[in-house]
Structure 1
């Protein structure tokens, strides 16, 4: 027990030394800079689903397979490559009615499959969704809008965050009648852009493209934390 106690004291002491080593022991200023860039999406990804319920499991499977095959075939004929299309495995499950009394009653089999499509040009998105509707797809799970040159916009947001940190540091130091010395530490973690998402919907609902994705924007944000030395 004594050895364990001594070891615990050593570990705690080392932790305290490490914490002290990370904390500057001179006058300093901690500031955070934020930057954001608004980009117009030029790409998209969408997922759709077909669901069928019949009294026969094989018929339910055949029905969804037929819809998926027709949909993907027409997508390819419209210029979408096979690499841009991914289909999920079949989901098939019995459906039961549960009366207040008595045994559950089998009422059919439900089959479903999903397809995810990468859209190179957001201008074609509405056309591809129309193809889905025309071929029997009955649900849109999501539509995600993207920007092609994400790295360029991320760099712009990062530089804006750096300039914001500098501006804040100069302003605060001036307010306290101090001068900025060198940068002592910089902490940085990339902030991923938030995709523009549309809610899941039935294909029976009206989708007004002009009100949904055509005017959407993608905000790319970044942040940097800086510790400056303060001098007289």
Structure 2
């Protein structure tokens, strides 16, 4: 009977010792992993590249107010047809030109004395969106459109056909900038950087100042106003955040 108790007690002691050893081992491994994780450095990096835009989205509008709907619609249709003809003259592909459906809205005047509204006319409008692949023609397109009767124009949205490549170039510069920052900080701390653990990145671009007609130039009689539109360069930005391993210097 006593021998059974001794065997049972021994087994319990062995089991308890094994469990304690496992707990200590796991605790040590966790602590070691935490220490390893803490030996890192996180830095940011910035990069940018510039390029001239080579395309633009131009939004034009035509609107007319007339007592008779037919007159307002005829005026808008005439102007839109003239602008579409202009795009063909400028050799802009039809797939890069979109004209919306005509929009017609009756307009009323409210009579306070009779508490009634009275039809006074119609407002007719239509929009044209043009994707221009040759910015040398931007000034001519806008000036001629105004001459033809266009009375609304949004700010041209400038872009580059190489935008994705330029954004990647900016990101590559940002990564190099982040590494230089990490090396500088690690050196000051008496350490060196190892492999990157994680990287997060983002990119975008800044529109240049919108192409505007240079008033002083446009006023000169010898200069064609269509040649007086200028646009600046686009700036493509890249930013990264990188976490590096922080390693001891050799011999430490």
TM-score (norm 1): 0.78
**1:89-119 C-alpha deviation (Å, 9 max, x unpaired):** 2221112233555323322110111111111
CA gap of 1:152–1:186, structure 2 versus 1, over 3 A, is: same
> Could you say which residue in structure 2 is the equivalent of 1:61?
73
Question: 1-side partners of 2:103 and 2:195: how far apart?
Answer: 61
1:143, 1:182 → 2: CA distance?
A: 45
Alpha-carbon distance, 1:77 to partner: 1.7
Tell whether 2:42 aligns with 1:42. Answer: no
SS in 2 for 1:142: coil
Match of 1:226 among 242, 248, 251: 242
Unaligned runs of 5+ in 1: 1-20, 201-205
Secondary structure of 2:156's match? Answer: strand
Partner residue in 1 for 2:101? 89
- Per-residue CA distance 1:184-229 (angstroms, 9 max, x = gap): 111223x2323347499xxxxx897787x52412111111111001
- Over residues 18-68 of structure 1, what are the superposed CA-to-partner deviations in whole Å (9 max), with x where a residue is unaligned? xxx9xx833111111111112111222210100101112232222212211
Alignment check: 8 A CA contact 1:48 1:142 kept: no
Kindly indicate whether the alpha-carbon contact (under 8 Å) linking 1:186 and 1:224 is maintained by their aligned counterparts in 2: yes
Mapped pair 1:112 → 2:132: no
Conserved in 1, the CA contact under 8 Å of 2:167 and 2:238? yes
Residues 129, 166 of structure 1: CA spacing in aligned structure 2 closer, same or farther, 3 A cutoff? same
Give the superposed CA RMSD. Answer: 2.6
Report if aligned partners of 1:49, 1:114 keep a CA contact under 8 Å in 2.
Answer: yes
Could you say which residue in structure 2 is the equivalent of 1:12?
A: none
TM-score, structure 2 length as denominator? 0.73
* Counterpart Cα distance in 1 of 2:125 and 2:193: 63
State the secondary structure of the residue aligned to 1:193.
strand
Aligned residues of 1:75 and 1:131 also touching (Cα < 8 A)? no
- One of 127, 143, 164 as aligned partner of 1:151: 164
Match of 2:181 in 1: 168
Greater RCO, CA 8 A, separation 6+: 1
Q: Are the counterparts in 1 of residues 100 and 126 from structure 2 also a CA contact under 8 Å?
A: yes
Structure 1 residue 139, shift from structure 2 partner: 1.2
